[in-house]
Amino acid sequence: MKLASETIERYQRKLRYKARYHLGSFCPDVEDVVQETLLRFLQAHDEGKIRNPNALGAFASGICNNVILEYRRRLWRDPPAEGEGKNLAATSPPEIETLERQEPIAAALAQLSERDCAILRAFFLHERTKSEICGDLGLTDGQFRVALFRAKDRFRKVYTQGLKHSAGQGH
Q: Is residue 12 assigned to a domain?
A: yes
81-99 pLDDT, tens digit each:
555 544 444 455 555 555 5
Residue 84 lies in a domain: no
DSSP label at 26?
A: T
In three-state form (DSSP H/G/I as H, E/B as E, the rest C), the secondary structure along 142-159 is HHHHHHHHHHHHHHHHHH
Residue 20: name the closest of 4, 37, 34, 7 by CA.
34
The verdict on 71 and 100 lying in the same domain is no
> Of residues 136 and 5, which shows the higher confidence score?
136
- Phi/psi of residue 84, nearest 5 degrees: -85, 140
**Do 164 and 96 sit in the same domain of this protein?**
yes
- Yes or no: say if 18 and 67 are a contact pair by the CB < 8 Å rule: no
Judge if pTM exceeds 0.85. no
Comparing 52-56, 79-83, 118-122, 163-167, the range with the smallest average pLDDT is 79-83
Name the amino acid, one letter, at 42: L
How many domains does the chain divide into? 2
Residues 62 and 113 in one domain: no
CATH number of the domain enclosing 103: 1.10.10.10
pLDDT tens digits, one per residue of 53-65: 888 888 999 999 9
